[in-house]
Amino acid sequence: MADLRELLGIEHPILLGPFGGLSSVALTAAVSEAGGLGGFGLYGYSADRIRSTVDDLRAATARPFALNIWLPTGDEVAPGPQHTVFAQALEPFYEAVGLDVPARPQAYLPALEEQLDAIWEAAPAVLSVVFGVPSDAVVAEAHGRGIRVVGAATTVAEAVALAGSGVDAVVATGLEAGGHRVSFLRRAEDSLVGVLALVPQVVDAVDVPVIAAGGISDRRGVAAAFALGASAVQVGTAFLATAESAVNDAHRQAIRSTSADETVLTRAMSGRLARGARNRVVRAIEASGTIAPFPMQNWLTGRFRTAAGEQGLGELQSLWMGQGAPLADYPTAAEAFAELLAGVPRGA
């Protein structure tokens, strides 16, 4: 099996989880500069925004980084008459941040082909994908341009499907992880496997390097992941709380004050299952019983979530975090990286 560090062109087997909507150039560059692999989530990014972001990343670091995209699953809804009904159900939250109920857009998301065109131009070291298996054409195009491909799995079956597609590595994502559950073969609710059980089974099932993710926030988690057979770790929440992150102080404080058993898996904020703090907006939307399908719900809540973030209103934001949040107490990315690196076995 190929050495993951050589494969990705990195010094240390520590990857930054890509945050859809919460990535920052500063944090991505900091992890890459430390010798790991910085990751940047491109959810919702147009081609022009991708190009601009890559320019900023390249100005901040000359080291390898990953760009992450969401693959379509086929059940995404397009803007239609139902938009108004679901938008009006969220009116109290728009009012709370001083916004009008948003009109129906032309589209909720840019086309995948548009994003890929910009990614091919950018030629990052790594293309990482979630919510599915990249097509043969995507894998071939990436490899033809010298781009490594990494997929994410929440079950052994998903990992096997990804490895069969020709990806270079698989992220085994345990149920402890913050943010969206990236399941694609079965419902996310039926794909909840903890990292302790998932990682060794994926290692046994595939012939590509396995990256462990979910609940890893300090050297102990890193050491455990390697003991389970992982070739690297991917960490999100521990870096999300640092100064270089794009989150605001309300989100950072929530990460540091939310116990593992207080995070929740919910569809309230996006229409897809995701882990975060069960704040006021999550409780209210769940109680209403009115949740639009993805990506409509994500677009609709995104209008007031963005404003809430600017106003420091944590109770109206998506406070994504994993179950390792109480361990995520690092002021800077450098301090978080040093702690994680201390758990990497010698020679790994």
pLDDT digits (tens, 9 = 90+) for 58-93: 999 999 999 999 999 999 999 999 999 999 999 999
286 pLDDT band, cuts 50/70/90, is very high
> In percent, how much of the chain has pLDDT > 90?
98
- Residue 81's CB is within 10 A of a number of other CB atoms, namely 7
Whether the pLDDT of residue 248 is over 80: the answer is yes
pLDDT the model gives residue 347: 74
CA-CA distance, 109 to 11, in Å (whole number)?
35
Whether the pLDDT of residue 302 is over 80: the answer is yes
Whether the pLDDT of residue 34 is over 80: the answer is yes
pTM: 0.97
- Record: fold of 4-341: TIM Barrel (3.20.20)
Do the Cβ atoms of 343 and 195 come closer than 8 Å? no
Which residue has 């670091």 as its token pair? 61
Contacts of 118 (CB under 8 A, 6+ apart): 47, 48, 50, 51, 54
Q: What is the mean pLDDT of residues 263-275?
A: 98
> In percent, how much of the chain has pLDDT > 70?
100
Pairing of strands 65-70, 38-41: parallel
Instruction: Give domain limits for the chain.
Output: 4-341
Whether the pLDDT of residue 4 is over 80: the answer is yes
- Residue 42's CB is within 10 A of a number of other CB atoms, namely 24
The mean pLDDT value of the chain amounts to 97
- The pair of three-digit structure tokens given for residue 102, joined into one six-digit string: 């948003």
State which amino acid sits at residue 200: P
Do the Cβ atoms of 321 and 245 come closer than 8 Å? no
pLDDT the model gives residue 1: 78
Taking 3-state DSSP, the helix, strand and coil percentages for the chain, each rounded to the nearest 5, stand at 45, 15, 45
pLDDT the model gives residue 32: 98
**Closest to 308 measured CA to CA, from 272, 273, 282:** 282
Do the Cβ atoms of 37 and 16 come closer than 8 Å? yes
Query: Higher-confidence residue: 2 or 61?
Result: 61
pLDDT, tens digit (0-9, with 9 covering 90-100), for 196-231: 999 999 999 999 999 999 999 999 999 999 999 999
Three-state DSSP state, 111? coil
Q: What is the mean pLDDT of residues 310-328?
A: 96
Q: What is the mean pLDDT of residues 29-52?
A: 98
pLDDT the model gives residue 122: 98
348 pLDDT band, cuts 50/70/90, is confident
